[in-house]
Chain A
């Protein structure tokens, strides 16, 4: 690690605040891509990992939780908070008492996220962006490979999802892009991906990315300017006030979002209580989940039946209906590409929370490292 400090031309700081290393930066890059709809992002470094936050229009908030076990090595040494100088000699300082309460060990800075992703992509890493998927579309064998390669959680029933996948290739947002990666990795054999060492020396220092291809090829160093964090939007989700929670496969949600006509500017999410027991078949009952898109040309309604294979879990006791701006909700599309399951929650105030599970593309140890990305969106006030 001391070598990486020597290569940076900064004044030598004895301790880097963050030094993270991974042999394959693709998973990290995918997680960042999922929230890269705005240029600026807030990086919150903690001992447990990094939280990357992106905000849009004071309405939409996206977090990518990057746990430290996504990296092969993660060392976080927060800077010491400087002792504030005594205000005046008159202030009595009790010797037993600390002058300041201990502060939580967090480090915050802002960077230009698209620059970070451009740098990570310097050697052409992740083959899971939309453009790369389009490239693969032309290869015939890849289509069948997507069908045969099961989904990550392996419980897929086949026909419906396969239909979903082939239709997705037309729109360029491929639900099985994660399966695509697996096939690529299998087929490409020796390409082990690009190694990354990411370091940060504290406020005022740049974020330094050091990339190296596994073979004895070129190495790259990127120094990206960091900024002091601006006051961030906070949208706390009150789990106690949650009135709807549904878990479904991300591909369903992705299908729904991709089918939306661009003229639909509002999206309403409707949840319905379960049908009363003892009634007839559920065909006439209102769907547990309905996504309704309204726009200048009309309305589209997409219904999800009360079927365990569609809605893995469904908690909704009253009729719930909240409307959101489509332009904000579709921001989740890129993150959905790599996600297996999504949890849709709405609280009393209409705050929508979409939590996506994004598995690591390769199995590491006994279990794959799973990452979470969350999107929170305020409802449009339609009173």
Chain B
């Protein structure tokens, strides 16, 4: 089992890990020859939010070499805090040294009988002297049987897909809505409107955005058969609103990824889940996507 890569854009990597760090203490990383996956599954994290992310290795790494007996895939779990510390240190060196650029090498190693993910950072200190820092993060390798059990949650076809407004703006409004309730109702229709509602016994507040885009199905990497999905969508009334009730906590965890996203697409699967695709980089390049599965809360009413 061999694995090494040069990290070219530590800042993006850092933002991704920051999003995961806010969700859960540990996460699973799966490296394949083409992609890096980071997974946060629902058993441990509150509110049942699951995040699955897939990033093409070219977006983050160069000199990428991977080799293993398990189809050249390597999967392990590690602490997000430790990973965050390593990446913060790496990105601080990469930003300070302008000319040479820091060299950040990530590789798998075995130190003192323990498998670790190592970050070797060669940079320049402020006085110009070369400096070398090594971070070793303890990992737990996952066996192929366990890896096979990892699967994205099954979802029925969504009733509506819509591109969200800039997440930073949504974040401030959602924070104010949280005062009123623990649950938020997310509704969208196929004419480009979304509506967030929070209500309790004394007040009901709803916020609407209009003139948003509904993307055609082809762009969305969903696990469902794209043909039937788009056919079904065309038959529906575009103004009809489809909604799902989710926990505020989960929604805010998703909004924590606002630093990363250029485009975010929300898919509503009524009574089942709210699925949010956060794209890193251009949608067409599909450099990377974070998929948030927010389970629907079935209200007693």
Contacts and interface: CB of A to CB of B under 8 A. Distances in A.
Given A112-B202, A223-B203, A118 B179 contact: yes
B207 A220 contact: yes
A222 B173 CA distance: 13
Contacts of B205: 119, 122, 220-223
A37 interface: no
B169 A217 contact: yes
Interface of A: 112, 115, 118-119, 121-124, 206, 216-225
Contacts of A112: 202-203
Contact of A115 (B202, B207, B210): B202
Contacts of A118: 176, 179-180
B231 interface: no
Nearest to A207: B203
Contacts of B179: 118
Interface in B168-205: 169, 172-173, 176-177, 179-180, 201-205
Contact of B208 (A122, A206, A220, A223): A220
Contacts of A220: 173, 205-208
The 5 A-B pairs at the shortest CB distance, nearest first, are namely: A220-B207, A222-B205, A225-B202, A223-B204, A224-B203
30 contacts: A112-B202, A115-B180, A115-B202, A115-B203, A119-B205, A122-B173, A122-B177, A122-B207, A123-B172, A123-B176, A217-B169, A217-B209, A218-B165, A218-B169, A218-B173, A218-B207, A218-B208, A218-B209, A219-B208, A220-B173, A220-B206, A220-B208, A221-B205, A221-B206, A221-B208, A222-B206, A223-B203, A223-B204, A224-B203, A225-B201
Contacts of A218: 165, 169, 173, 207-209
B211 interface: yes
Contacts of A222: 203-206
Q: Which of B173, B177, B205 has the most CB of A within 10 A?
A: B205
B207 A219 contact: yes
A119 B203 contact: yes
Nearest to B165: A218
Contact of B176 (A121, A216, A221, A224): A121
Nearest to B177: A122
B176 A124 contact: yes
A122 B176 CA distance: 6
Contacts of B169: 217-218
B41 to A, nearest CB: 33
Interface in B204-240: 204-211
A222 B205 CA distance: 4
A302 to B, nearest CB: 38
A224 B199 CA distance: 10
A198 to B, nearest CB: 14
B139 to A, nearest CB: 42
B203 to A, nearest CB: 5
Contacts of B208: 218-221
B199 to A, nearest CB: 8
B247 to A, nearest CB: 20
A223 B197 CA distance: 11
Nearest to A124: B172
Contacts of A123: 172-173, 176
Q: Which of A118, A121, A206 has the most CB of B within 10 A?
A: A118
